[in-house]
């Protein structure tokens, strides 16, 4: 890890603070970077034009008793990584050989999108209960690093 990794992870934490998820501990932020330049950002929140959980006053996943790491489709929010990739598509920005900094380890759905978008490295801070995503990253040759400020 180096000072740039810390800067971009700090930025991912700032972006996470924009989340409209009301589930405790689930404010997720992502920053996609290439050549020390931020290409896109994303945080977890409802799609444009759809009421988010804060506006609804409840979390659908909590209401249905869905445990973390499962049934990703039963949620109003789009994941931070997905939003960062969608933003790049909307703006016509290539993510080929970029690095994604994320506050949390990506889930398997995000891993598939990250792989297909051409992102070559993922740096995350907090774990997530999804070992399959790590297997996919390994098979696809995407480098995955658990960020640790103590190693700076």
Q: Which residues participate in catalysis according to the annotation?
A: 81
**Cα separation of 102 and 63, whole Å?**
27
| Angle, CA 121 vertex, CA 126 and CA 17 arms, to 5° | 40
Sheet holding 143-146, edge to edge: 37-43, 29-34, 99-104, 121-126, 143-146
Q: DSSP alpha helices (H): ranges in the chain? A: 3-16, 53-56, 60-64, 80-91, 108-117, 131-140
DSSP SS3 for 31 = strand
CA dist 2 → 15, 36, 78, 115, 147 (Å) = 20, 12, 30, 24, 10
- Contact 88/94 with Cβ under 8 angstroms? yes
């Amino acid at each position: 890890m180096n000072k740039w990794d810390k800067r971009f992870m700090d930025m991912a934490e700032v972006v996470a603070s924009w989340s409209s998820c009301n589930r405790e501990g689930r404010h997720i932020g992502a920053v996609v970077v290439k050549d020390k330049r931020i290409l896109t950002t994303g945080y977890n929140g409802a799609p444009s034009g759809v009421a988010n959980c804060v506006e609804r006053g409840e979390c659908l996943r909590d209401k249905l008793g869905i445990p973390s790491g499962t049934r990703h489709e039963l949620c109003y929010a789009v994941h931070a990584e997905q939003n960062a990739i969608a933003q790049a598509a909307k703006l016509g920005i290539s993510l080929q050989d970029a690095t994604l900094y994320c506050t949390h380890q990506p889930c398997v759905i995000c891993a598939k999108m990250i792989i297909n978008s051409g992102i070559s490295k993922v740096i995350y801070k907090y774990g997530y209960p999804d070992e399959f995503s790590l297997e996919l990253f390994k098979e696809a040759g995407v480098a995955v690093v658990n960020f640790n400020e103590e190693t700076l």
